[in-house]
Amino acid sequence: MPNYIRYKPDITSALFWFMKEIVLLGSTGSIGTQVLDVARLHNIKIKALSANSNVNLLADQAREYSPSFICIGDEDKYDELKRLIDDRRIKILCGKDGLCELASLACDMVVNAIVGTAGFLPTLTAIEAGNRIALANKESLVVGGEMIIAAARKKKIKIMPIDSEHSAIFQSLAGNEENRINKIILTASGGPFRGYTSEMLKRVTADQALKHPNWCMGPKITIDSATMMNKGLELIEAVWLFNVRADQVEIVVHPQSILHSAVEFDDGSVIGQLGVPDMRIPIQLALTYPKRYASCAKPLSLTDISCLTFEKPDDRVFPCMDIARSALEKGGNMPCIMNRANETAVKMFLDGKIKFFEIPEKIQWAMENVSYSKEISIDIIFETERETDEKMSRIVS
């Protein structure tokens, strides 16, 4: 039997985790459930769990992990959740305030696995409360990277990336803090439409776009991967996390998703991280860093894969990467407009209201028509999101 299946946490690991407690936001999603897989394997205690609307799964998770707090984002589901939880030791919260209360609880780490802009305020709240944070919610850094990084510096908090590419970059930089980075090589699978022409993209359906070749993820990020906006968001994420310029980030299509990203240093050495495409590897490292423990992921066999290939992305067919570069260059609330417009356009596509190829068009339209502000603050972010939603709904209806 292979090692990874036989693995049970050893006594050192159990002792290491004895007092560890995490707050997990977005526990019912693709990342959230995999965080719980890691927690189950290593006996990590869960202090709090949250979900947006899936009360049944949240209640099941609460029964298994006995957290002290749970929170449901959708306030209309509060009573239903209360009926499902028959345990007075669990405090039940709801809405945005509830989420922020969870993010500021005293704990060893807050894991933010919420999808979309809803994750921004909990990220900032967790950091301002002095909590360490493991971040899957890349949108936080896209809409308010400057504020988040400033808060993390002030509180001397390291943000542990969960995104596989950023985890790979983080690992490649270990031990090289004093060395100059030439560039970051941000790898992309290319998504389900790699090699398509613009003409072919006019006919693709939501079912096709939701079939990612290598990863099983939530619907929003799966569509972002198909449009390549995911790489645009990740470029902005990398710029904030690793303090590099956008022109130092090279996006390279690597269809096998084995090299999760790499860093090129001044001497020409390229250091990268390889592994099977399984999010439980970067999730676990974010939780246990600097320790590494056996994981439930399959080991990598390079000879089984035999061939790793790399190619340039097609920016003409997939304009979202350039859109993200220009939003970042413009700065202020422009990445926030782009991010919100993307979120809304993805939802419209999944609801059958627009075609796949219209997603970048709608984003560009929003970037030209929503009020621009050079300044950024929490109020500006919320106002930008409100205006983007309102204008986007008008052009589609």
Q: What's the angle, vertex CA 227, arms to CA 226 and CA 229, rounded to 5?
A: 115
Task: Give the integer Cα–Cα distance in Å for 137 and 73.
Answer: 16
Are 281 and 4 in contact, with CB atoms under 8 Å apart? no
Place of tokens 């590099």: 244
Q: Which of residues 278-297 bind ligand NAD (CB under 6 A)?
A: 279
Residue 190 interacting partner from Mg ion, ligand NAD, none (CB closer than 5 to 8 Å by kind): none
Q: Does 264 bind Mg ion (CB under 5 A)?
A: no
Answer whether 232's CB lies under 8 Å from 323's CB: yes
Give the Cα separation of 229 and 359 in Å (integer).
Answer: 10
User: Would you give the binding string for ligand NAD spanning residues 308-347, x where CB under 6 A is met?
Assistant: ----------------------------------------
Between 17 and 348, name the residue whose CB sits nearer to ligand NAD.
348
The whole-angstrom separation of Cα 365 and Cα 363 is 5
Give the shortest CB-230-to-ligand NAD separation in angstroms: 7
Q: Which is nearer to Mg ion, 165 or 385 (CB)?
A: 165
Q: What is the DSSP string of 29-86?
A: SHHHHHHHHHHHHHT-EEEEEEESS-HHHHHHHHHHH--SEEEESSGGGHHHHHHH--
Peptide bond into 122 cis (omega under 30): no
Binding string to ligand NAD for residues 230 to 269, with x set by CB under 6 A, is what? ----------------------------------------
- Minimal CB distance residue for ligand NAD: 29
Sequence letter at residue 217? M
| Residue 28 to residue 219: CA distance in whole angstroms | 13
Token pair for 172 = 């490649």
Q: What is the DSSP string of 172-189?
A: HHTT-TTSPEEEEEEEE-
Binding mask 140-179 for Mg ion (x = CB under 5 A): -----------------------x-x--------------
Which of 17/212 has CB closer to ligand NAD?
212
Our CB check for ligand NAD shows the closer of 56 and 179 to be: 56
Q: How far is the CB of 72 from ligand NAD (least distance, A)?
A: 9
Provide the minimum distance between the beta carbon of 164 and Mg ion in the complex, in angstroms, as a whole number: 5
Q: Which of 13, 30, 189, 227 binds ligand NAD (CB under 6 A)?
A: 30
3-state secondary structure of 130: coil
Rule CB under 6 A: is residue 113 a binding residue for ligand NAD? yes
Among 38, 44, 46, 51, binds ligand NAD (CB under 6 A): 51
Least distance CB 283 / ligand NAD (angstroms)? 9
Asked if residue 274 lies in contact with residue 221, where contact means CB atoms within 8 angstroms, the answer is: no
Minimum distance from residue 115 beta carbon to Mg ion (Å): 13
> Residue 165 binds what, of ligand NAD, Mg ion, none (CB under 5 to 8 Å, by partner type)?
Mg ion
In the complex, which residues of this chain contact ligand NAD (CB under 6 A)?
26-32, 51-52, 54, 73, 99, 113-116, 118, 136-139, 163, 215, 217-218, 220-221, 279
